[in-house]
């Protein structure tokens, strides 16, 4: 087997490429021309001088013994570093690698380069089938909505399920998992947007009413409205956004409540029907969606003339209550 002659790109004193540079080969320590080859088997002789291409690069060249090399420009002047005697070569046979030895390891028990290279390749192929990663491995982060067998990084998981403002947006650009979760959290909101009530002085009963007539409850107090989402006038109330209301109101005998849409002159929803006995007091409850800008009132119809009795416990009387959750 022939050794490969190391032929760097031909350059001049300024480091500029010398296109068409000429390489001459001699027996080491002499001026006797040496036959060199284009193959590592040493069977195909190369015509001399060997000419570099336009980039100053020479074709692979091989020699079977120590060699002296002289690289010249097209005018016959030797380039920097030449003649080189003896000129470096590198073995091309596997035997060259197999002659180099080193201490074995558990993963690579071989003691020569060639066998170790083959063992490394075998080990890598086994690990790629089912790698046991250690440390903090990284990978490209997929875009939101990706649904493939691509690896999911922690960044992808956070983007897919949560956003940085903790469900503060239900933008259509967010993934369905976040959309549905935010909608659920919205509907399960514990703290209402506003609470309005019918209140009276301690010991004061509700105003007497005409039996079998829909009568407006005296909702006149904003018990809770931190964001100003409701306004009250003449016991009628208007919300600044769409949402949902629940209401409760006491009564005696046979009675029912309802939410009346003053703006559209229509009944929005009926409350529960109640029948009491022996003069006891019970509550009618109801709930429905409301629309921003519409004006509503809570009405009650009873078979008697009273909406209830005062408790007279020193803290004032609270009768009807309307609770609102903004959308």
- CA-nearest of 68, 62, 61, 79 to 21 is 79
- For residues 165 and 200, state if they share a domain: no
Whether the Cβ atoms of residue 123 and residue 130 lie closer than 8 Å to each other: no
* CATH code (residue 283): 2.60.120.40
Residue 183 pLDDT level (bands cut at 50, 70, 90): low
More confident position, 170 or 7: 7
- pLDDT given at position 164: 45
Task: Establish if 77 belongs to a structural domain.
Answer: yes
Verify that 198 and 90 share a domain, yes or no. no
Same-domain check for residues 182 and 216? no
Statement to judge: residues 199 and 322 lie in one domain: yes
pLDDT tens column, 62-94? 999 999 999 999 999 999 999 999 999 988 765
pLDDT at 208: 80
Residue 262: pLDDT band (50, 70, 90) is very high
CA atoms 124, 130, 133, 137: torsion sign? positive
- Of 129, 156, 188, the last residue of a domain is 188
Among 5-14, 153-162, 170-179, which is the least confidently predicted range?
A: 170-179
Residues 19 and 80 in one domain: yes
Q: What is the C-alpha to C-alpha distance for residues 49 and 52, in angstroms, rounded to an integer? A: 10
Share of the chain above pLDDT 90, in %: 61
- 79 DSSP assignment: P
Q: Are 279 and 241 part of one and the same domain?
A: yes
Asked if residue 312 and residue 200 are part of one domain, the reply reads yes
Question: Using 50, 70 and 90 to split pLDDT, how confident is the model at 137?
Answer: confident
Do 58 and 148 fall within a single domain?
Answer: no
Say if residue 188's pLDDT is above 70: no
Report pLDDT for 123: 76
pLDDT score, position 158: 76
Residue 6: domain span? 1-95
Residue range 143-169, pLDDT digits in tens: 887 889 888 898 888 777 655 444 455
Q: Given 66, 95, 124, which residue is the final one in a domain?
A: 95
295 pLDDT exceeds 60?
A: yes
Alpha-carbon torsion, ordered 36, 42, 43, 49, to 10 deg = -10
CATH of the domain at 64: 2.170.14.10
Burial of 201 (0-12, 13-18, 19+ CB in 10 A): exposed
Do 182 and 264 share a domain, yes or no? no
With 80 as the cut, is the pLDDT of residue 317 above it?
yes
CA dist 27 and 49 (Å) reads 15
Q: Is residue 109 part of a domain?
A: no
Same domain, 150 and 85: no
Asked if the model's pLDDT at residue 199 lies above 90, the reply is yes
Lowest mean pLDDT among 83-87, 164-168, 206-210, 225-229: 164-168
Whole-structure pTM value? 0.47
Q: Please report the pLDDT score of residue 172 as a whole number.
A: 56
* Confidence (pLDDT) at 97: 56
* Residue 235 lies inside a defined structural domain of this protein: yes
- Specify the pLDDT at position 190: 74
Least confident of 27-31, 164-168, 310-314, 318-322: 164-168
Reported as a single tens digit per residue, the pLDDT across 108-124 is 787 777 777 888 888 77
The answer to the question of residue 100 being in a domain is no
Among 182-196, 204-218, 231-245, 301-315, the range scoring the smallest mean pLDDT is: 182-196
Tell me if 113 is assigned to some domain: no
Which one, of 228, 229, 225, 283, lies nearest residue 252 by Cα? 283
Instruction: Classify residue 123: in a domain, yes or no.
Output: no
Stretch 209-236: mean pLDDT, rounded? 95
Cβ contacts of 181 within 8 Å, gap of 6 or more: 161, 167
Compute the mean pLDDT over every residue in the chain, rounded to the nearest whole number: 87
């Amino acid at each position: 087997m022939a050794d490969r002659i190391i032929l760097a790109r031909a350059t001049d004193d300024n480091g500029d490429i010398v296109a068409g540079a000429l390489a001459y080969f001699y027996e080491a320590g002499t001026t006797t021309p040496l036959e060199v080859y284009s193959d590592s088997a040493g069977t195909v002789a190369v015509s001399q001088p060997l000419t570099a291409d336009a980039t100053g690069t020479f074709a692979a060249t091989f020699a079977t013994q120590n060699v002296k090399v002289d690289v010249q420009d097209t005018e016959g002047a030797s380039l920097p570093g030449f003649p080189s005697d003896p000129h470096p070569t590198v073995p091309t046979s596997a035997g060259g690698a197999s002659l180099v030895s080193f201490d074995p390891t558990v993963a690579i028990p071989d003691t020569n380069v060639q066998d170790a290279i083959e063992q490394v390749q075998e080990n890598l192929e086994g690990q790629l089938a089912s790698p046991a990663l250690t440390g903090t491995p990284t990978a490209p982060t997929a875009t939101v909505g990706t649904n493939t067998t691509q690896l999911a990084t922690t960044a992808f998981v956070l983007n897919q399920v949560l956003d940085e403002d903790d469900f503060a947006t239900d933008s259509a650009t967010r993934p369905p998992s976040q959309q549905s979760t935010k909608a659920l959290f919205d509907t399960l909101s514990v703290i209402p947007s506003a609470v309005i009530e019918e209140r009276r002085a301690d010991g004061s009963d509700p105003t007497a009413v005409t039996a079998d007539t829909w009568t407006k409850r005296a909702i006149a107090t904003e018990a809770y409205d931190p964001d100003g989402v409701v306004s009250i006038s003449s016991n009628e109330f208007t919300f600044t956004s769409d949402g949902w209301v629940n209401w409760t109101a006491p009564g005696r005998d046979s009675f029912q409540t309802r939410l009346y849409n003053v703006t559209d002159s229509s009944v929005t929803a009926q409350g529960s029907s109640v029948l009491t006995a022996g003069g006891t007091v019970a509550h009618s409850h109801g709930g429905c969606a409301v629309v921003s800008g519409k004006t509503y009132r809570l009405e009650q119809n009873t078979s008697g003339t009273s909406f209830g009795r005062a408790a007279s416990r020193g803290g004032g009387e609270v009768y009807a209550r309307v609770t609102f959750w903004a959308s």
